[in-house]
Each structure stands twice: as C-alpha cells, then as structure tokens.
Structure 1
Amino acid sequence: MPLVYTRGETGRRPSYLRVLERLFGARRAGLRDLFLSRAPVLFLMVEEAFLLYVAVGLLRALTGRRTAGLLLRPMPLAASPRWQCRWKRAVLQRLKPCRSVQTLTILPFSVFPGFASIADGWIHDFQLWDLAEEERKAVNLLRAERRSGDRLVLTAIGSQSAQKGFDLFADIYARSAGLRGRYQFIACGKVVQEAGEHAAVLSEAGGVMVDRTVSDAELLGAYAASDTVWCLFPRVGDHATGILGRAVQLGIPVVVRQGSLAHRLCIIENLPHIAAAVEDAAERLAGPLPPRDEKRGRLAALRFAEESEATLRAALGLAVVKAASVA
C-alpha cells in the first residue's frame, strides 16, 4: 500500500487522491512516514515541496525504498531561464541515475521532449482518465434531457481569471455579433476579484454567469450542457488541466491556444479540438465545430488509464497488472 504526500487538499489534489486510493489503496503520509515507512511513497506535487522530495528520495534510496514524485507543471523546470528553475533543473538531472527515485511528469514527453531531461517518465494527467462509470451515466442522462436550441453552448469551467483566458472569453463574445448568434457563452465558476469587469462585459453581452463555487454534480451538469469547452489559456496557464481532461473523457471538443501544450496534446492523441490564436479566436469559432463523441472519449480514457497505471506501478515497485482498473 503506497503512501501519498501532499501539503494540502486544494485544487486537483482531492480527485488525484481518490484515484490513487481506488487504484492502489493508497493513503496520505505524514512527515514521519516519509522517513520511517518501508512502503513506497508518492509525492503528489514535487513543486510544492521540492527540497523535501529530494531529501526524502535520497535518504530512502540508501535502504532501497522507492520514492516517486509528480511534476504537475514541468515546463518552467524544463525550460525557464530563471535561476530558481535552473538550479532545480540541475538537481533533477543529477537525480535521474538514482533508480529508487522516479520523477514523472503528467504530460507525455512527446508533447515537450525537454521534459525527458528532468524526469524519468510520464503519466497522463489523472483527470484525463478518472471519471467513474456513475459519473459518465449522470452526464449522459443530463445530456439526453437537454433541450435542443438554436445556438451551440461554449462553456468556461472552473475559477474565472486571466490565467484561464476569461478576459478573452468575455471580450470576443461582446465584440462579435456573429458569435452571439451562433453560441451561448456560459462561465461556470467563481470569478476572481480582478476579473469582475470582464464578468460584467460578458453578462451585458448576453452571456451566462454562474459566479460561485460549484459542486461536483453541477460541474458534471456544465459538461453535459456543453458543445465545446474553453481551454484557450495564456502562457501562464499553459499546463495540464482537469478542465480539458474531463472534456476529453466525455468526448467534448475543446478550444485551445495555437501552439500550447494543450494543442500539442490534442494533435498527438487525436483529440477533438479547435486551435486558435488570441487574435483569431472569434474567426476560428465561426468555423466548423468537431462533433461530440462520447465513445471516442471513453476509449481514450481507458487507454490513458492503462498506460498511466502501468507507469505508476513500475515507479512505485508495485505488482504489475494486465489491465487498468479505472473505467
């Protein structure tokens, strides 16, 4: 039974922990467990406890105990010229020969080959393959009950901020009568204080604002209502995201920024998407929209699960199974 270390349970961490518990019977580790337990240890986010990860990994390696860590945002560590990233990059590169310590990214090396310089392997983001069958059924049921309208629905899901491209989302809707005629824009999630002006712009243009923290059930409802999901994030938000992952699992096409990591992932994995630059987002959305394909999303999630579980088992020294246990 592996142990999982994380400093908190905010953001994507709770869903990651649920998957690891379901797959391996994993439980959270305290600081004492990291040094004394013989069970393999997985750091859920290396970035939040970098020095602790390195120290624990090296000390445990002396007695042959396994330690693995996930890099949730590997791009800065792999490519940034900032000294804070350069020294961490050098440490990870020197850690690679130690086979008892396995650093994994949550994006494939094919998306950005430079990740291979700092990590031993990769998995697919859990949120590309973590939906339970009951959740899929709930979305499909809600989808079947949806009233067909004259307009398509484009939804921005999660906290609404400039980091999620909410400013562009609101601006192109307000500026383009053509988009307003073709789409209903919906923002589903708490708007940060700095983005209040953009929320007002979206509302005034006829967009729908759900400005509050939404429950898991409401999030599934948002996906059920969506014909496409907004993932056109600026460079600061260019990393693996559960918003894209859940859409992919459900076969919903996503809108991504041209040349981003999300765009590269969509191309490599043949995922339905629209790629747009900031300056031509409205024009690209006016073009053909890939169809929603739930079966295709399910098959992709099964493949991602199988590949990722095998990698995690190898990194943690767990027994290998023939098939993934997450549907």
Structure 2
Amino acid sequence: MVAQPQHDPSGPRVCLYDSHDGNEGHRLDYYALFARLLGAKRTGSWFTAALTRRPVLVGALEASMPRYVLLALARAALGRPTAGLLFRPLPVLDPDTPKLRLKRAMLRLLLRVPGVTTFTLLPFALEPRFAEVAKDWIWDPQLWDLHYPEPLAAHTQGGLAARIRAAAGTRRICCAIGRQDVSKGFDQFAQTYVARDDLHGEWLFAFGGGTTPEIAVEQAQFERAGGLAEPVFVDEVGLRDLYACADAVWCSYAPDYDQASGIFGRAVQLGVPVIVRRGTLIERHCLSGGLVHLTHDGNPANLPLGSIGRRQPPDTAAATARSQGAESVRRLMAALGLAP
C-alpha cells in the first residue's frame, strides 16, 4: 500500500520535478497552473524529488525517461506516490528505433508498480493504445486552464487586433498563432494563401509570433501575396488579440507533430473554429467533442474554407473547459494521494 503524503500546511503540497534546464514552449504555463491548483513547487534536483515526503509530479518526463523511471521506482520502494506527464505518447507506441523501444519497455514496467501513475494529456478513448504505456489520463491543461477554476476575465482588445481587423476589412480572418516553423504547419499555411487567389477576397491570413530561418522563403511569398505578418514574439495580450480576431485558427501541423497543442487548446477554450490535419489526435478530439473545425489533408487546393462554421458560444466553450479542468485535477490529486 502506498503511504499517504504528509503535508506541511505552511509549505508546498507537491514537489514538481523537471530535469530539463529550459522553459521553452508552454512549460512555464503548466508549472504556474500546477503551483496554483496543486500547491506544487518546482525542483531540478533528482535527489530532492526522490527523498521528499511530499508526492512528486514529473512535469515533462520525456526530458529524461531514465531519470523518471529511477525516481518512480525509488519512491515506490519508500511507499511514496509519483506521477508523470507523457506529452508525446505516439512515438513510443510505434517505436522505430532501439531508443524508443526501450522507452516503451520502461513505461510498460511502471504500469505494474503501485503508487506510480503515468498520465497522457488526452483521453484513452481518443487512442486506446495509450493504456499500453500509461495508467491514466487528463485533459491537456491548455484545453481548460483559462476557465478553471475561476472564469476568464473579459479581454480588452489591443493594437494588434486593431491592425489585423483594419487590414481585413469585411473579410474573415484565419490566424496562425505563436512561434512559426514547419512543425506547426507554417509552410502549408503560407502556401495555401499564396496558391489560392480565390481566398483573398473573402479571407485574410495573418500570423503573429517568432519565426525560424527554415520558413524564410514561405514567409516572403506569404507577405507578397497579401498575408499579414507579425514575425516577432507576441505577449499574452497579443495572443488574446489573435484569438479575438480569428474566425479560424490554423492547427494543421506537420504529420510528425501529432500531440496535444497549446495553440489548439486555447482556440477550443475560446470557441474559435480550428483547421486540423486529417487523421490526427486533435481531429479525433474535434469529432468526439462536436467542435467547430475543418479537416485539412495537406493539399492547399482541397481546403474548403468557406464551409467552416462560426464560433461556439463563449458560455458553451467555457462550461466544457471547466468540466475538463475539474476532472483533470481530480485524477491528478487521486494519483498523488491528495485530499480534494
């Protein structure tokens, strides 16, 4: 039996372990959320995480799978609960290298260890094979963090929203949001607008976020075709501007980027229609949840943008987010041995 954690009421409830040195992507957003909801405090020390009496949550176990496995086994021997978040389960389900096969074997080993819970960030119903490498699942926090537990404050649109709306005029707006590269499907986003003159009278394509050198040619072509570019870091206000402007958000990512996505999650939370790649996990999520979306097969000629629906009512999207947040926190707390 796994011992219940002993908490200092004046201190953190959960030790959040992350062996990764960086804070790229949505890592800081996740950790701030877990600090707020679970009372988690972050450490990069394996020994601190191994020896603490508090339950341990491993925030990004892919950063070092061996360290996660050794940590979980060491703590299980002491009767202390450990949970880890698996961001990218698909590669270990279809391993094509010895390294990935080893990762799958390690995760399958942990399924048999009491007090250790590996979570995926999407339900097993979307991919039943997740249960081969994880004990449980939560909804990706960026599907619900804006609305749970407190409601989202109203957004006062800023200068970025004003510039995009002025450029669009009466046209609808399709936005690519955040850092742009090939993995996020920017090449397809740009090529679609360049190749489809028929879209220009009805739609403005716009993006906001930093770019990488690999997309320089596509970016230049995109701007020459009349696309609107804000190729700089966009802060939280700017991100909210992009979602507020958008009639559709581009989430048709590269085929090898098939995982939970913060850009997608925020669009869903705000009720904005999304464009997703055919056959992906997020397409399954859209279909199972009845979300407003358009499926893209990667061919610019086959994207019927005119058929995409309108935004979900904000209250509907918010209610779904709050429900998913409550379920996710309940699952995490149960695995960590925390009282509700």
TM-score, normalization: structure 2? Answer: 0.89
1:250-289 correspondence runs (5 A): 250-279=270-299, 282-289=302-309
Residue 298 of structure 1 pairs with residue 318 of structure 2 = yes
Could you say which residue in structure 2 is the equivalent of 1:325?
none
**1:5 paired residue among 17, 37, 41:** 17
Residue 248 of structure 1 pairs with residue 263 of structure 2 = no
1:221-236 correspondence runs (5 A): 221-236=241-256
Equivalent position amino acid for 1:289 in 2: G
In structure 1, C-alpha distance between the alignment counterparts of 2:160 and 2:215, rounded to whole Å: 30
| Identity across matched positions, percent | 38
Alpha-carbon contact 2:161-2:242 (below 8 Å) kept:
no
C-alpha offsets along residues 4-61 of structure 1, whole Å, 9 cap, x if unaligned? Answer: 1122322111110111011011110241311221101111111101111000110111
Could you say which residue in structure 1 is the equivalent of 2:232?
212
Q: Residues 27, 301 of structure 1: CA spacing in aligned structure 2 closer, same or farther, 3 A cutoff?
A: same
Q: Following TM superposition, by how much is the alpha carbon of 1:140 offset from its aligned partner in structure 2, in angstroms?
A: 7.8
Aligned to 1:154, the other structure's residue is in SS state strand
Equivalent position amino acid for 1:186 in 2: A
Residue 312 of structure 1 pairs with residue 329 of structure 2 = no
**2:175 paired residue among 139, 155, 162:** 155
Could you say which residue in structure 2 is the equivalent of 1:25?
39
Could you say which residue in structure 1 is the equivalent of 2:186?
166
Alpha-carbon contact 1:96-1:119 (below 8 Å) kept:
yes
C-alpha offsets along residues 39-85 of structure 1, whole Å, 9 cap, x if unaligned? Answer: 01111111101111000110111111011100011110122332211
In structure 2, C-alpha distance between the alignment counterparts of 1:159 and 1:172, rounded to whole Å: 19
Could you say which residue in structure 2 is the equivalent of 1:130?
145
Could you say which residue in structure 2 is the equivalent of 1:188?
208
Alpha-carbon contact 2:92-2:104 (below 8 Å) kept:
yes
In structure 1, C-alpha distance between the alignment counterparts of 2:160 and 2:238, rounded to whole Å: 13
Alpha-carbon contact 1:158-1:243 (below 8 Å) kept:
yes
Aligned to 1:286, the other structure's residue is in SS state helix
Q: Following TM superposition, by how much is the alpha carbon of 1:149 offset from its aligned partner in structure 2, in angstroms?
A: 3.5
Alpha-carbon contact 2:196-2:300 (below 8 Å) kept:
no
Q: Residues 312, 134 of structure 1: CA spacing in aligned structure 2 closer, same or farther, 3 A cutoff?
A: closer
Higher helix share: 1
Alpha-carbon contact 1:179-1:282 (below 8 Å) kept:
no
Aligned to 2:330, the other structure's residue is in SS state helix
C-alpha offsets along residues 267-322 of structure 1, whole Å, 9 cap, x if unaligned? Answer: 112221111211256532132434343122101111110110111011111112xx
Q: Following TM superposition, by how much is the alpha carbon of 1:181 offset from its aligned partner in structure 2, in angstroms?
A: 1.2
In structure 1, C-alpha distance between the alignment counterparts of 2:239 and 2:160, rounded to whole Å: 13
Q: Residues 139, 243 of structure 1: CA spacing in aligned structure 2 closer, same or farther, 3 A cutoff?
A: farther
Alpha-carbon contact 2:192-2:300 (below 8 Å) kept:
no
In structure 1, C-alpha distance between the alignment counterparts of 2:50 and 2:196, rounded to whole Å: 58
C-alpha offsets along residues 138-171 of structure 1, whole Å, 9 cap, x if unaligned? Answer: 1689999867931111000011111111111111
**1:44 paired residue among 39, 59, 65:** 59
Aligned to 2:194, the other structure's residue is in SS state helix
RMSD of aligned alpha carbons: 2.1
Larger CA deviation: 292-301 vs 163-172? 292-301
Q: How many residues align?
A: 320
Aligned to 1:235, the other structure's residue is in SS state coil
Could you say which residue in structure 2 is the equivalent of 1:108?
123
Residue 88 of structure 1 pairs with residue 103 of structure 2 = yes
TM-score, normalization: structure 1? Answer: 0.92
In structure 2, C-alpha distance between the alignment counterparts of 1:141 and 1:200, rounded to whole Å: 26
C-alpha offsets along residues 222-270 of structure 1, whole Å, 9 cap, x if unaligned? Answer: 1111111000012121111000000000010100011111101111122
Alpha-carbon contact 2:195-2:300 (below 8 Å) kept:
no
Equivalent position amino acid for 2:14 in 1: P
Off by >4 Å, runs of 4+ in structure 1: 132-136, 139-148
Equivalent position amino acid for 2:113 in 1: C
In structure 1, C-alpha distance between the alignment counterparts of 2:43 and 2:180, rounded to whole Å: 32
In structure 2, C-alpha distance between the alignment counterparts of 1:215 and 1:312, rounded to whole Å: 29
